[in-house]
Amino acid sequence: MASGSQWFYVVGSERKGPLTADQMAALQSAGVIDEATLVWTDGMAGWAPLSDTPLHAGPNFPPVPGASPYAGAGAETIYDPPVSGFGEAISTCFRKYVTFSGRANRPEFWWFTLFGVLGGIAASIVDAAIFRSADYGPLNGLFSLAMLLPSLAVSIRRLHDTDRRGWWVLLHFIPLVGTIILIIWFCGRGTPGRNRFG
């Protein structure tokens, strides 16, 4: 494990980080974290106890048999693991259909956006094949309606991830300039560690 990797850990209901692997080893030596502490770094599917990660391979991180993956005093219910895949993004955004609080990382937002574009194209093709009219597309209309709230919700959560208020989503109403600003923000990195939105 490269010592420059960025790691996060949870103590109680608070997420700490980013830290290097060497800093994590120092915290374990000082008794601040142990093998049951929930940790995460890029490339992990979700939060996991330190004993289930490559960090335990060093002399300061012996594995603990039977360590609980939920040994974070309920922290796993406060912080959702970062979304990284297409299917995971779709299920997360539909599960959080009208959840406007919390944060959404870049993969969650962009995978769901891609799903919306591909779904709209597919619905338009089916409409054209069935109804043979460029003006009448009920399937595309229904799909767009179903996507409205989850798309708005994930956009607001993506703004939260960059430590911006969700009201900035109203920039969409400023032709061209507002949309360009939002795209730049949506492409930006989220705040490392906690911010005021989670």
Name 93's Cβ contacts closer than 8 Å, sequence gap at least 6: 104, 108, 112, 150, 151, 153, 154
The Cα–Cα gap between 6 and 20 comes to 5
Same domain, 61 and 150: no
Q: Is 42 exposed, middle or buried (0-12, 13-18, 19+ CB in 10 A)?
A: exposed
Lookup: tokens for 106:
């870049």
Q: Which of 46, 77, 108 is the last residue of a domain?
A: 77
Same domain, 43 and 94: no
Same domain, 27 and 109: no
In the chain, how many domains are there? 2
pLDDT at 71 (0 to 100): 37
Domain that holds residue 162: 86-187
Q: pTM of whole model > 0.75?
A: no
Same domain, 172 and 95: yes
pLDDT at 197 (0 to 100): 83
Q: Is 38 exposed, middle or buried (0-12, 13-18, 19+ CB in 10 A)?
A: buried
Residue 62 falls inside a structural domain? yes
Note the pLDDT tens digit of each residue in 78-90.
345 566 789 888 9
Residue 198 falls inside a structural domain? no
Full DSSP string of 115-136: HHHHHHHHHHHHHHHHH--SS-
Lookup: tokens for 162:
């960059």
Same domain, 73 and 94: no
Q: Which of 41, 57, 77 is the last residue of a domain?
A: 77
